[in-house]
């Protein structure tokens, strides 16, 4: 992906260095197909990476449902989310809530790191 980004940047720099508007338009028209092909390849790589991340999270979800089950202790009571158990406040299905939280945090961070490259 970094190689594709460098190629796209070099083409854009090449066009931006030209001062004549007519020549700039001609050169941009000439290399537009190459830039479009590199851009579409880069977008497909990012799409594949995002799909792979979502598939990985779905597999993790099935592993959590199948093998890991625990309750999370919570410092204070929140109606409809927490319950009292042996004078302690717990969140039932804590492993699922932890998974959902990590999904939202880490998916957003991963996708943001992909966007920073552009």
CB contact set of 66 (below 8 Å; sequence gap of 6+): none
Output the average pLDDT for the chain: 81
Measure Cα distances from 93 to 2, 32, 46, 64, 80 in Å. 41, 53, 33, 10, 13
89 sits in the region (left: phi over 0; alpha: psi -120 to 50; else beta) called beta
pLDDT band at 74 (very low <50, low <70, confident <90, very high): confident
Tell me: the pLDDT tens digits for 103-117? 888 777 776 665 555
The encoded tokens of residue 85 equal 């158990």
- By mean pLDDT, which of 37-41, 76-80, 108-112 is the weakest? 108-112
pTM over 0.85: no
Residue 108 backbone zone (phi > 0: left; psi -120 to 50: alpha; other: beta): alpha
The 83-85 sheet, strands edge to edge: 72-73, 88-91, 83-85
């Amino acid at each position: 992906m970094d190689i594709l980004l460098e190629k796209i940047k070099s083409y854009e720099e090449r066009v931006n260095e030209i001062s004549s508007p007519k020549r700039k338009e001609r050169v941009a028209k000439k290399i537009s197909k190459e830039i479009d092909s590199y851009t579409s390849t880069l977008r497909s790589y990012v799409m594949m990476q995002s799909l792979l991340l979502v598939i990985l999270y779905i597999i993790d979800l099935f592993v959590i449902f199948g093998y890991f089950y625990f309750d999370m202790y919570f410092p204070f009571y929140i109606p409809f989310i927490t319950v009292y158990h042996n004078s302690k406040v717990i969140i039932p299905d804590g492993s699922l809530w932890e998974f959902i939280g990590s999904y939202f945090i880490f998916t957003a961070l991963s996708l943001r790191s992909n966007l920073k490259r552009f």
